[in-house]
Chain A
C-alpha cells in the first residue's frame, strides 16, 4: 500500500488544509453550542420528576403540591435539655417568629392572637364574638322562637358549674344562646399534639414541636431559603444568652426544606460528579496511554458530547434540570469509549503514516456505529416517557452520544491520524484481557446456572418486585423523610391527603357550593364517619347565608318578649339579658363579612389558603379547597363513599392525593415497562438487520439477556425496592452492553477469516478500558445521594461489567481457542 502522492480522495492521509478545515468546523460548532448554553436556564426544581399530565384533577393536584398550603408548611422540633427548657425555647422562638413577619401562622400550643394584644387592639377572638350571628351555623328563625331560645339557653347552662363553665360564664349575659360555643366547636381539632405547660410536645420523644405556615409561596425557592436561614438565626438568638437553653438543637422539616435542600444537593452533586468523573476517566486514560496529548485528545469527543447534550435539552425543553446534568456525567464515561476505540485501534493498523484512521474507519467503525445505533435505540425509548425529567435524560444522552461518535470519526483523525502514540499500561492490560478472554468460555456452565437461578428467583418474587413508589423518584434523602414522618406524627397532623375541590364561577357561587358540601359532610361527622373538615365558609360564609342568618334575628321588643316567656321559671332570669338583646340589635346592623373584613387577623391566612382564584388560562372562576380529616375506626368512610355522598354538588371532586399520585406512578411504571420492552425489541431488530444471521443474532442476544437477568436478580436479592428508574437502567444495560458483544462478534468473524484483521491485544485492551470507563462513571452516580441517579447507577454499573464478561464467555469463540498473536 505505497502511495506516492497522498490524496484524500483515494484514501490517503489528510492534507493540512483538510485537517484545519475539520478542526475549524468543530470549533465553530462548539462556540455556537457554548453560546446557546450561556443563555440556557438551569433549574433544580423537584417538579421535573412529577409527571406531566393532561387530567385536570391531576394538574390541580400538582398545582397544590407545588404552591398550596401543604407546600408552605414547616414543622419544627426542639430536642435536648429538659422539658421546661424546651418549653421556654419554644415560647421564645414562637414570639420571635411571630414578630418576624415571615409566617402567616406560628403554632406552638400557646393561644396567641385570639386575645386582644397589649395595645388593646381586639384579637381574632373578639372579632369572632362580635360577628357570631353572621358565623354561627345554628342561627335560624327557629332558634329565636320561644322553644328554640329555651333549648339554646339550657344547652349553655349545662356547661356551667363545670370547669368549662369558667370559659362560658364571661359571655353568658351577652351570648346566652351559645353562638360563640358553636363557632369554637367547629375549630377544635380532633387530633392534636400533646400539650404540657401550654406548649406542644411529642408523645413519644423528648421534643417540643411547632407548626408554621410560611408567607412565601412554595415555588419561590430563594425566599424559602432565606426564610429558613432566619428561622435558624431566631433560634440561635433565642437560646444563646441563657445557659439553661444552650444545649438545645432545632430540627426543621417540611416541603420548603426538601425543596431547598434538594436544589442545593443537586447542584453540589452535579459539580462533584463532573469533577470525580473527569478525574476517574483521566486517570484511566493516563494509565492506558501514558501520554498527556492523548488524554487531551480523548476528552474532545466528551466535550463535544456534553455540549451537544446540553444544547439539545435547552432547545428542546427550555430549561435544563440539574439531575440531567448529573446523569450527564455518565456520558463522560460512554463518550470517551469512542475516543478509546479510535486512539488505540487506529494505532495498530499497518500502512503509511497518516492513514491509520482510514483502516479503522473500514474495519472497526461499522461495529462502533452499530453499537452507537443500539445505544441510540435504548435512549430513544426514554424520550417518549411521560416524565419530563426522564425525557430530558433521553434527549441529553442521544444528542451527546451521536455528537461524541461523530467527533471521534471525523475530528479525531484531524488531530491524531494514527491513533495515540504512547502505550502506557496497555500491553499488560491487553495481555491480561487476552488471557481472561481465553479462559472465560470455560465458565459458560457457571453463567448458565446463574442465569437459571436468577430467572427462578425473579419468577418466584414476581409480584413483590416492583415496590418502588413516587418517593423513590424524589431527590429527598430517606433520613429527611423519616424525620418528617416523625414530626408529623408528633403533631398528629394527618397527611392532608383528602381534599374536596369545589369550583364556582365567582366567589359567592363558590362559597355557596362549599356550604352545600359542608351540609352534606356534617351528618357524616355525627355518625363518626368523618372526624372533621376545614372550610373557608366557617369564617367567610356566602352573602346569601349571612343575610339569611341576620334576617332570623328578631326585633328587640319581640326578642325580649320571647326571652321572658322562654326563661320563665328557669334559673336565669330574662331581666339580666338586656345586653344580649342590645347586641342582637347591633348585629342586625353590622355589614356583611367579606374578605377585606378578615384581612389582618390570623383568620385571613386560613381562609386565603382555602380559596383559589384561577387564572383565565386555567378556566377562570374560583376554587374552594376543603381539607377532610378522616376518622379512625371502622365507620370511617373512604374516598369512594365520600364521592357518593357529594355526588349531588355539581363540579365537586374528592381527591385523595396519595392515591392519585400512586396510581399515576403505577400508570407510568406500566408505560415504562412497555417503553423499555419496545426499546429492547428495537435494539434486537437493529441487530438482526445488521447481522443478517439468526445464529449470530442469538449468539449476540444471549449474553445481554443473561446480563439483564442476573443484574435484576442480584438487586432483588439485595432487597432493593425496584422502580421505574431501575427499569430504565436495565434498558441502558442492553444498549451499552451491546457495544461489547458486537466487538466479540466481530472478532469471531475475523478469526474465521470473513473480515480482515484480528483481535489483537490492543483491541482487547481498548474494550476493557472502554468498559472500565463506563462502569466507573455509572458506579459514581450509584453513590449519589439522589435516589433517581443512584437507581440507574446501581443497575448499569454491574450490568455493563457483566455484559463484558458474558460476551467474552459466550461469543468469545470456542473454549481454548487462543486469539491471534498480538501484533506490535
Chain B
C-alpha cells in the first residue's frame, strides 16, 4: 500500500515537473527585436502562397496562388500564377508591377501607401525592425516556435485604407499573412516555404500551366 502511494506520489511529482518544464519552455515570450533577429538569419527564401480575399459586395471569395521570394537586404517578389499571371517585384526603392502583359515601375517612397504594405512583408522577411517601426505600430505575441506579429499603420492616409496586418510564423518562417481593410474586406494568405532550388522548377511548371489556361 505504502509503495503504491509512494509510486503515484512520485509519478504525480514527475508529471507536475514535466508540465512545469514544458510550460517554462513555451513561456519564453518574444519581443520585436528578437523576432527580427531570428528572421534576419535567413538571407533569402522562396515560398508558395495561396490567398483568399473576402470582399463585401461579391458573392464568393477571390482566390489566387503563386510564389513569393525574397533576398536580403531589400529584394522581394510576389508572383501570382493563378488565376491571372501578375507580379509585384520590389528592389530597394523601386517597385515593378506587371499585369496582363503591361508593366510599370514606380518609386516606393513617392507612394507611401504602397511603401507601407511592401514593407510589412519585406521588412518582416528580412528582419528589418526599424523599417517596421517607421510605418507601423508592431505588437508581437507568442514565442520563437510560434509567433504572431500585428502591425497597425501609423500614417493616417494608409490607416484609412488598411486597418491591420497580422503575420503568423513558426521560427524563422512566415506561415500566414492576414490583412484587414478599413472597409471590412479581408485578405488571408497562407504561405508554404519551399526548400531552395525547388522554387524555380515550381515556377516554370506553374507558369506553363497558367499561360495554357489563360489562352
Interface of A toward B, CB cutoff 8 Å:
151, 154-155, 157-158, 160-163, 165-166, 169, 172, 185, 188-198, 203, 492, 525-526, 528, 531-532, 570-573, 576
Contacts and interface: CB of A to CB of B under 8 A. Distances in A.
Given A158-B84, A160-B185, A163-B162, A195 B103 contact: no
B84 A155 contact: yes
A172 B55 CA distance: 12
Contacts of A154: 83-84
Interface in B29-85: 53-55, 57-62, 64, 80, 83-84
Give the residue among A154, A163, A185, A525 with the most B Cβ atoms within 10 A.
A163
B110 A192 contact: yes
B91 to A, nearest CB: 11
B113 interface: yes
A195 B101 CA distance: 28
A160 B107 contact: no
Interface string B174-191: 000001011101110000
Contacts of A157: 55, 58, 62
A165 B105 contact: no
A570 B83 CA distance: 12
A169 B86 CA distance: 20
B60 A531 contact: no
B179 to A, nearest CB: 8
Contact of A195 (B62, B102, B112, B162): B112
A166 B61 CA distance: 16
B100 interface: yes
B102 A166 contact: no
Contact of A165 (B83, B100, B157, B181): B181
Interface residues of B, number: 42
A162 B181 CA distance: 8
Given A532-B104, A571-B61, 7 more contacts: A151-B100, A158-B83, A194-B110, A198-B157, A203-B109, A526-B102, A528-B105
A491 to B, nearest CB: 10
Given A160-B53, A571-B61, A528 B103 contact: yes
B158 interface: yes
Interface string B104-137: 1111011111000100000000000000000000
Nearest to B214: A151
B170 interface: no
B99 interface: yes
Contacts of A185: 102, 104
Contact of A160 (B55, B59, B101, B112): B55
B161 interface: yes
Which 8 pairs, one residue from A and one from B, show the smallest C-beta to C-beta distance?
A161-B53, A192-B110, A571-B58, A194-B109, A571-B60, A163-B161, A161-B187, A166-B161
B80 to A, nearest CB: 8
A151 B85 CA distance: 12
Contacts of B155: 197
Contacts of A195: 109-112
B186 to A, nearest CB: 7
Contacts of A203: 109
Contact of A192 (B107, B158, B160, B185): B107
A192 B83 contact: no
Contacts of A151: 100
A207 to B, nearest CB: 15
Interface string B200-215: 0000000000000000
Contact of B103 (A191, A193, A197, A526): A526
Contacts of A572: 57-59
Nearest to B107: A192
Nearest to B116: A163
Given A158-B99, A161-B62, A172-B57, A193 B110 contact: yes
A158 B53 CA distance: 9
A248 B125 CA distance: 40
A257 B14 CA distance: 86
A531 B109 contact: no
Given A154-B84, A161-B53, A195-B109, A190 B104 contact: yes
A151 B101 CA distance: 13
A245 B96 CA distance: 38
A151 B84 CA distance: 9
A400 B157 CA distance: 69
Interface of B: 53-55, 57-62, 64, 80, 83-84, 86, 99-107, 109-113, 117, 155, 157-158, 160-162, 179, 181-183, 185-187
A163 B106 contact: no
A639 B61 CA distance: 48
Given A161-B186, A166-B181, A166-B183, A188 B106 contact: yes
A489 to B, nearest CB: 13
A571 B100 contact: no
Given A158-B62, A161-B62, A166-B181, A190 B55 contact: no
19 contacts: A158-B62, A158-B80, A158-B86, A158-B99, A161-B185, A161-B187, A162-B179, A162-B187, A163-B117, A163-B158, A165-B181, A166-B161, A188-B104, A190-B107, A194-B109, A195-B112, A528-B103, A528-B105, A571-B59
B183 A161 contact: no
Given A165-B55, A188-B106, A155 B100 contact: yes
A161 B179 CA distance: 9
Contacts of B179: 161-163
Contacts of A155: 84, 99-100
Nearest to A522: B102
Contacts of A158: 62, 64, 80, 83-84, 86, 99
A160 B62 contact: yes
B38 to A, nearest CB: 28
A154 B103 CA distance: 17
Nearest to B117: A163
Nearest to B86: A158
Nearest to B56: A169
A169 B58 contact: no
A526 B100 contact: no
B117 to A, nearest CB: 6
Nearest to A191: B107
A162 B64 CA distance: 12
A504 B108 CA distance: 39
Contacts of B185: 160-161, 165
B57 A169 contact: yes
Give the residue among A160, A172, A528, A570 with the most B Cβ atoms within 10 A.
A160
Contacts of B107: 190-192, 194, 492
A807 B84 CA distance: 85
Nearest to B58: A571
Nearest to A165: B185
Contacts of A189: 110
A100 B54 CA distance: 47
A151 B183 CA distance: 26
A160 B58 contact: yes
Contacts of B160: 166
Contacts of A192: 106-107, 110-111
B59 A573 contact: yes
A158 B64 CA distance: 9
A573 B61 CA distance: 13
A729 to B, nearest CB: 46
A88 to B, nearest CB: 15
A169 to B, nearest CB: 7
A563 to B, nearest CB: 15
A345 B15 CA distance: 126
B213 to A, nearest CB: 12
